[in-house]
Amino acid sequence: MKLVMKKDALSVSPRHYRIHDASQKHRLIRLFTQICPRFWKTRRRVLSFALVTFLGLGSVLGVQTLFTERVIGASPLIQPILLTSDTTVREPDVSVQPKVQSEILLVQTPIEINYQQLDQGQDYLASGRYTQACQTFLQGFGLESPDCQLSDQELQTLQQFSNSPANVEGWRGLGEVLRRVGRLEDAQTVLSFISQPTPADYLSLGNTQRALSQRQRNLYNRTRNLDDLQQALNQVEIALDSYRTAAETDGSNSQIIPTQARLNQLSLTLDTVAWLKTVKQELTVETWIPTIKSEITQVESAAKKWFSILEKQASQTHQTIQPTFDTKTWKNLTFPEQLSLIYAQVNYAVSLTQLQEYANYFPSLREPSTAEINQRFDTAVTWAKQLNNPLAEMYALGYYGQWYEQQQEWQKAEKQTEKALRLAQSQRSWDVAYPWQWQLGRIYKAEAEQAEKQHKTSAMQGYFQRALTAYEAAFHNIQNIRDNLLSAELDIQFNLRDQVEPIYRGYVNLLLQSRGDNQQENLEEARNVISELQLAELQNLLQCSVAQLEGEETVSLEAIIAEDSTTAVLYPILLEDRLEVILAVPGEKLRHYSPANTPRQEVETLIKRLWYSLEQPFFSQRGRQDSQTLYNWLIQPAEADLANSQVNTLIFVLDGALRNIPMAALLDENEQYLVEKYAIALSTGLKLPQSESSGEFNALIAGLSKQPELADSLDNQFGQLDYVEIEIANIRAVLQDSSLLFNEQFTDKALQDKINSSAYNLVHLATHGQFGFSREDTFIITAATEADQEINSNINALKIDLNTLDDLLRARNQDPIELLVLSACETATGDNRAVLGIAGMAVQTGARSTIATLWSIDDPSTAALMKQFYAALGKKTTKAEALRQAQLHLLQNPSAYRPSHWAAFVLVGDWR
C-alpha cells in the first residue's frame, strides 16, 4: 500500500509588539522568556506562547499535517513532511466546537486590531484550537463569524486596515487559521494584504497554494478530466514560485526558513512526480475509452517535464542546504529554530528515501545511500532527545520505522515504531498514535507472512495476533476522534476517507483471515468495520456526525433483518488482493466467501468498463461478459443459501467503486438479470426508522420542463426535459390528491412554503441535478423567483445545493419524508461515492429513502418507469418491489429493454 502524505501548515513571521496595558501579562512573559531560557522547559503553555512570540507559528506536525492524504497503491512508501516556520508543539486538542450555521456580523470597526484578542488568538493557534483562534482574530478586527466563512464585504473590511505591525501580525495569524480550517481562497486573499511580505509569509503562501493544488488533484482523481489535472499542475507551479521566493528573499530573521522552503519545494515536486506516475498507471488499463491514448500521451508529457524539474531540484537542494544540518550549526541556534531543524532533518531524510527509489529510473539523479538516510534519522532522534521533546522524537522514530519497513528490515522497523508509539501514548497524544499503530500492524503482518514461509507456525500465529491487536487499536482510536477531526478542519474532512480507509480495510482483511472458535465474532466485527467506513465517508460528505444523521427512534439494519425472513444483506468488500463478500441470511449464521483472488485494481478496472457499457445505448457483448463475471463473484456463491430461504429482497452495502454499478443489471449464466429474481435496495450502514412505512402518501410534485438558464454561463449544460409534463401527469393520475409546482412556480421559496404548509411524506422532484464530490457539488435546479421570468421556452434558474436543500425540506415540525424521488438527477462522472451522494441527499432532507439515477436516462423511459412505479406503490407493496416491477415493465418493452433505460434507477435507504 503506497502512502502519499499530504503536507500542510502555514507560517507566521516574527511578531512586532507594542506596549499595551491590555496585554501586560503577555508582555512580561515574553520579557522573562528572553531573560531566562530555562523558563521554556518549565511551563508547556508558556512554551507554546513563547514560540509563537518569536516565530509567530501555528501547530507543528499534528495528525492534521502528517497523515492527511493517503493514496491506495502498492507497498508503503515514506513521503516527506511539509515544513512550516512553525515550531510550536501543540498539545493535541480534540474538543472542537460543533459547527453552526454561518453568520458574519460586522461590529464597530477599529483602526487597529485589538491587542488582547491578537494575543489570545495566537495562543489558541499555538494550541491547535483553530475555531477559537479564528473567532478571536476576527473579533480583534471587529468582525464576528462562528464558522470562519468570510464574504467579499468582510474581506474588503479586513483589507481597509493599515499595514501596521500589529495588523500585519493579525493578518498572518488569520491567514494561517483560515488555511487550517480549509478556507484556502480566503487564506490566500488575507495573506495578500501584507504589503511587504517576509520570507516566512511566502512560505506560508506556498503552503496554502500547495493545499489548493492538492484539492485540484483530488478533483481530477474523481473526474478524470484532463483540464482538472492541468489546473492542479499549474497550482503546483504557483506554490513552487512562492517557495522559491521564500528561499531567495533577504530579510528573514530565521536561518531555517530558506532551508524549509527548499525542502518543501523538493517534497512538492516528489509528490507531483509520484502522482503523475500513478495517474499514468491507472489510465493505461482503461483501454475501452476512445480518447485514452491521447490522455496517456498528455500525462506522459507532463510526467517527463516534472521528472526533469526533479532532477534539477534534487541536486540544487543537496548543495544548498547541506551545511545547515551540521551539528555545530544546530547547537548555535535558538531553541525554536533547533526544533525546526529537527523536523527539517526528518523531512529531508524522507525525501531522500523517495529519491533513492527514483534513482533506479533516472541515472542522472544522485542516489542517496542507505547510510546517509539512517544517519539523518539518527541525528534527528538525538537532537530531539537533547531538547527533551517527546513529540519531535516520536515523529523522527516513527518515520525511521517507516523507512525500515520500506527496506523490509522488519525487526528494526518494529523496534523504532514501538518506540514512537510509546512516546505518543506517554503524551496521551491519541490523535497522532493511530498512524503508528497502523504501521506496527503492517509490520507484524509482514513478520507473520515471513514466519509462515519459514514454516514457523507458532511465531506466525503470534505475529498475526499482534497485527490484529494493532489494527484494532488504530481502528478504535480513529472512531474516538473521527467526529472531532470532521469538525476541526474542512480540508481534512475532504481527505478523511483516504486517510482512514486503508486502516479499516487492513483490519477487515485480518479479521476475515482469522480462524478459530471466534470466527463468527470476527465476521460480525468485519461487518461492523466496513459499515463504519461507509458512515465515515457519508460524514465526510455531509460534515456532520452520525448522531445528527440517524435521528431518534432508529434501529440497525442487522436488527431489522433478524426480524424479516424475506430480506438478506450482502456486504461486498474490496481488499487489496481479493474481493470478499459477507452474507447475512435470516435465521442463519454469517458466512463469507472470497470468490475472486483478484487484485483490487483489476476488479475496479472491470467495474469501470462495465459502467461504461451499461451507460451506452447498446449493451455490448464485452459488457454482458463483465456483468456475468461480477454476478459470479457476488451472487453465485450465495445462490444455494438464498434459494433455500424465503428471501425475495436483497440489500447491498456496497463498497468503493462497486457503488457505481446497479446490482439490478447483473446477469447470471442464463442471461437473466438479478432484478428478475429479487427486489433490490442499497444501504449505507445508517440506522433505519423502527416503524415501517404506512403505505399512505401525501405527495408534493415539482418539476421543470423548460431549459434552465443559470447565472453562471459555465453551468448552462442542462437541456429541456420534454417528457417531464407527461411524467407529472402520469404520477398525478395515480396520486390524485398531490400538490404541484411546475416550471415558473417551482421556486425555492414556493417549495419551502409548500413543505411548511402540509404534512407531505412523498416529494417527487423532476428536475436536473447532480450528486457530486461535496455538499456544494450536490444540487438540484429550481426556477428563480417568478418576477425574474420572461415568457419564452427557457427559464431563469438557480442551483440549490445540499446546504440549502437541507434548510428547505427540514424547516418543518412534521413527520419525516417517507420517500424522496429525484427522477432527472445524475451522479457526477467518475465519482466512486455516487450512492453516498444520493444517501446524503436523503439524510439532509430527512427522507427515509431516496430513488435516483446513476446516469442520465432517456426522457421517455423515465416517464414510463415512474408511471409504473407509482402504480405498484399504490398497491401497498414495498418500495423495493415497486421499483422492481417498474424496471421489469421497461425490460419487457422492445424499445427500452436495454440496461441504459432502466438499470440506473436505485433505491437507497429504507426499502420497506
Nine-digit cell at 812? Answer: 418543518
Predicted pLDDT of residue 726: 94
Phi/psi at 32 (5° precision) = -65, -40
Single-letter residue type at 526: A
Report pTM: 0.81
88-92, 165-169, 539-543, 899-903: the lowest-pLDDT one: 88-92
Predicted pLDDT of residue 787: 55
Q: Is the pLDDT of residue 292 over 60?
A: yes
Predicted pLDDT of residue 549: 58
Cα dist. 575→1, 685, 692 in Å?
11, 19, 35
SS3 (DSSP) at 759:
coil
Of the pLDDT bands very low, low, confident and very high (cuts 50, 70, 90), residue 806 is confident
Q: 422 or 826: which carries more pLDDT confidence?
A: 422
118-132, 149-163, 384-398, 428-442: the lowest-pLDDT one: 118-132
Contacts of 717 (CB under 8 A, 6+ apart): none
Rounded Cα distance, 704 and 740, in Å: 11
Q: Is the pLDDT of residue 399 over 90?
A: yes
Rounded Cα distance, 84 and 215, in Å: 19
| Average pLDDT score over residue span 870-880 | 93
What is the DSSP annotation of 524-593?
A: HHHHHHHHHHHHHHHHHHHTS-HHHHH-SSEE-HHHHHHT-TTEEEEEEEE-SS-EEEEEE-TTS--EEE
Of the pLDDT bands very low, low, confident and very high (cuts 50, 70, 90), residue 851 is very high
Of the pLDDT bands very low, low, confident and very high (cuts 50, 70, 90), residue 535 is confident
Predicted pLDDT of residue 788: 59
Q: Is the pLDDT of residue 337 over 70?
A: yes
Predicted pLDDT of residue 371: 95
Q: Is the pLDDT of residue 368 over 80?
A: yes
The tens digit of pLDDT for each residue in 263-286 reads 999 999 999 999 999 999 889 888
Predicted pLDDT of residue 758: 86
pLDDT over 90, % of the chain: 52
Q: Is 16 left (phi over 0), alpha (psi -120 to 50) or beta?
A: beta
Q: 27 or 222: which carries more pLDDT confidence?
A: 222
pLDDT over 70, % of the chain: 81
Predicted pLDDT of residue 106: 45
Of the pLDDT bands very low, low, confident and very high (cuts 50, 70, 90), residue 689 is confident
SS3 (DSSP) at 767:
strand
Predicted pLDDT of residue 26: 40
24-33, 105-114, 405-414, 898-907: the lowest-pLDDT one: 24-33
Predicted pLDDT of residue 102: 39
Helices 257-284 & 335-358 angle (0-180, nearest 10): 30
Apex 843 CA angle, 840 and 849, nearest 5: 100
| Average pLDDT score over residue span 10-23 | 31
Pair 129, 169: CB distance under 8 Å: no
The mean pLDDT of the chain is 82
The H-or-E segment that residue 818 falls in is: strand 817-827
Strands 567-574 and 579-584, sheet pairing: antiparallel
Buried b (16+ CB within 10 A) or exposed e, 583-617: bbbbeeebbbebbbebebeebbbbbbbbbbbbbee
Rounded Cα distance, 495 and 498, in Å: 5
| Average pLDDT score over residue span 352-365 | 82
| Average pLDDT score over residue span 134-140 | 94
Strands 699-703 and 762-771, sheet pairing: parallel
HSE, CB side, 13 Å, CA atoms: give it for residue 813.
Answer: 0
106-115, 135-144, 553-562, 801-810: the lowest-pLDDT one: 106-115
Q: 349 or 315: which carries more pLDDT confidence?
A: 349
Predicted pLDDT of residue 331: 92
Predicted pLDDT of residue 70: 27
| Average pLDDT score over residue span 708-717 | 72
DSSP state at residue 702: E
Predicted pLDDT of residue 63: 31
Predicted pLDDT of residue 42: 34
**Residue ranges of the alpha helices (H) in 652-743?**
724-734
> Measuring CA to CA, which residue among 13, 55, 16, 59 is closest to residue 172?
13
Q: Is the pLDDT of residue 585 over 70?
A: yes
Phi/psi at 792 (5° precision) = -155, -175
Q: Is the pLDDT of residue 655 over 80?
A: yes
> Measuring CA to CA, which residue among 431, 536, 437, 435 is closest to residue 494?
536
Pair 695, 876: CB distance under 8 Å: yes
Predicted pLDDT of residue 546: 60
423-432, 540-549, 713-722, 797-806: the lowest-pLDDT one: 540-549
59-68, 321-330, 541-550: the lowest-pLDDT one: 59-68
Predicted pLDDT of residue 845: 75
